[in-house]
């Protein structure tokens, strides 16, 4: 049986060349479907990647109860000090807790295309780099604490105007020079860092927004959580940093993914009808050949399977072609969107999904023609012209 399937399929593929343009309908249809699906999805994938990378599970973020974003959370200096001495937080070599009091401010920027936008300016403290070791200064130097100066992420530098080292940025209390640029591999690359206390003074804010801590161990989150919630002087919650970002990014990226699926879905249905059309045509042009095979003693099942295999092969080829085009065009490209800069991403998982879509289309599109091919009475098919 397997041998029969193999022989019949080999025969199919050998004469594919005669049906080249017809078969290309399937390839083009699936290439369009998967290419569009992956391209549309590249923004939300980039968004997820940017946020998920930013959330190290060895870190926890402490925000006020009920806050769903950092700007909505308020932590006074007194609260921040209490939080930093809570159990479960790792200590550095000097015995100081690895806790960083952070503040977020909006910073107006101009995108390269001239449109205006905002980015996040993060005020961070002296221990920030120990807690976020992924931040690396790649040119210039780090800002000095207490100084009115800032460092910018390399994506912010690439996508916004006037973000070179030495440029001045208008802050509420005058111009701050940019003294360095950093990489971090996540959304922070599209943002700006400065000294927390100085940012606070400049923006007339009295409270921090969050406290970021490095956990003693992966499991010490519950220790920290219990200590914080049982302290009546604090109305705060701790959450693993990656969970925080996951929740934060899920809503919007989910929405973008939904749009990509709707558009991809419509194209897929269009491609499905194309696939049905092509496979019916293929079966009917090969009617005689199939009948001959059957007369020679090949079973109906191998014939049906060979038709399915052909549909799958063409569909998957189309999907890979579409994925390759989308990858060449978009993967890794920086895309400013809203108040962030994302790296468009076409992931292996996404390509896998595209191939699965292609297989589903091929199965649905090949099923009826393959049944028809197998069922056709041999004698009648042999007589047909």
List residues binding other proteins (CB under 8 A): 21-22, 24-25, 28-29, 32-33, 35-36, 40, 43, 66, 71-72, 105-108, 111, 113, 115-117, 159, 170, 172, 203-204, 255, 259, 263, 266-267, 269-271, 273-274, 276-278, 280-281, 335-338
Which residue, 139 or 203, is less far from other proteins as judged by CB? 203
* Buried/exposed code over 13-50 (b: 16+ C-beta within 10 A; e: otherwise): eeeeeebeeebebbbbbbbbbbbbbbbbbbbbbbbbbb
Phi, psi of 61 (to 5 degrees): -110, 135
What is the smallest separation between the CB atom of 268 and other proteins, expressed in angstroms? 9
C-alpha 11/C-alpha 107 separation (Å) is 65
Six token digits for residue 95? 């015995």
Closest CA to 11 of 291, 289, 323, 352: 289
When the beta carbons of 226 and 277 are compared against other proteins, the nearer one is 277
User: In terms of CB distance, is 99 or 316 closer to other proteins?
Assistant: 316
Instruction: Kindly state the smallest distance separating residue 233's Cβ from other proteins, in Å.
Output: 20
Q: Which is nearer to other proteins, 99 or 323 (CB)?
A: 323
Phi, psi of 123 (to 5 degrees): -90, 125
Our CB check for other proteins shows the closer of 72 and 349 to be 72
User: Considering beta carbons, is residue 219 or 385 the nearer one to other proteins?
Assistant: 385
Helix (H) or strand (E) holding 319: helix 300-330
Q: Nearest approach, Cβ of 29 to other proteins (angstroms)?
A: 5
What would the two tokens of residue 226 be?
């219990």
Nearer to other proteins, 9 or 117 (CB): 117
What distances in angstroms separate CA 83 from CA 89, 96, 231, 320, one per listed residue? 9, 13, 10, 51
**Of 212, 136, 153, 194, whose CA–CA distance to 339 is shortest?**
153
Q: For residues 227 and 86, what is the distance between their CA atoms, to the nearest angstrom?
A: 6
Distance CA 169, CA 38 (A): 37
Cβ 309 to other proteins, closest distance in Å? 21
**Pairing outcome for strands 116-124 and 192-195:** parallel
């Amino acid at each position: 049986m397997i041998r029969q399937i193999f022989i019949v399929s080999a025969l199919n593929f050998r004469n594919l060349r005669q049906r080249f343009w017809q078969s290309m309908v399937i390839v083009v249809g699936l290439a369009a479907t998967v290419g569009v699906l992956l391209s549309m999805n590249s923004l939300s994938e980039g968004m997820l990647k940017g946020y998920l990378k930013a959330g190290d599970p060895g870190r926890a973020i402490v925000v006020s109860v009920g806050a769903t974003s950092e700007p909505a959370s308020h932590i006074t200096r007194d609260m921040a000090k209490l939080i930093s001495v809570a159990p479960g937080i790792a200590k550095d070599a000097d015995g100081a807790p690895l806790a960083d009091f952070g503040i977020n401010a909006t910073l107006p920027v101009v995108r390269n295309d001239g449109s205006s936008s905002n980015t996040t300016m993060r005020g961070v403290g002296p221990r920030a780099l120990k807690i976020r070791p992924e931040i690396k200064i790649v040119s210039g130097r780090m800002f000095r604490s207490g100084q009115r100066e800032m460092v910018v992420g390399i994506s912010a530098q690439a996508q916004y105007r006037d973000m070179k080292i030495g440029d001045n940025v208008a802050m509420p209390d005058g111009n701050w020079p940019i003294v360095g640029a950093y990489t971090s591999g996540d959304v922070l690359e599209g943002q700006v860092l400065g000294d927390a206390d100085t940012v606070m003074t400049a923006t007339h804010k009295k409270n921090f927004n969050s406290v970021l801590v490095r956990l003693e161990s992966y499991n010490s989150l519950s220790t920290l959580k219990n200590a914080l919630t049982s302290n009546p002087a604090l109305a705060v919650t701790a959450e693993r940093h990656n969970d925080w970002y996951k929740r934060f990014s899920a809503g919007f990226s989910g929405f973008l993914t939904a749009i990509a699926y709707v558009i991809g879905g419509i194209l897929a249905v269009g491609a499905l009808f194309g696939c049905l059309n092509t496979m019916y045509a293929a079966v009917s042009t090969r009617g005689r050949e199939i009948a001959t095979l059957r007369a020679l003693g090949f079973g109906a099942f191998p014939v049906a399977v060979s038709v399915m295999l052909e549909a799958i092969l063409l569909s998957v080829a189309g999907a890979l072609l579409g994925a390759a085009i989308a990858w060449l065009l978009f993967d890794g490209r920086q895309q400013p969107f809203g108040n962030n800069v994302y790296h468009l991403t076409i992931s292996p998982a996404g390509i896998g999904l595209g191939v699965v879509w292609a297989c589903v289309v091929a199965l649905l599109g090949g099923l009826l023609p393959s049944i028809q091919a197998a069922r056709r009475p041999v004698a009648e098919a042999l007589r047909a012209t």
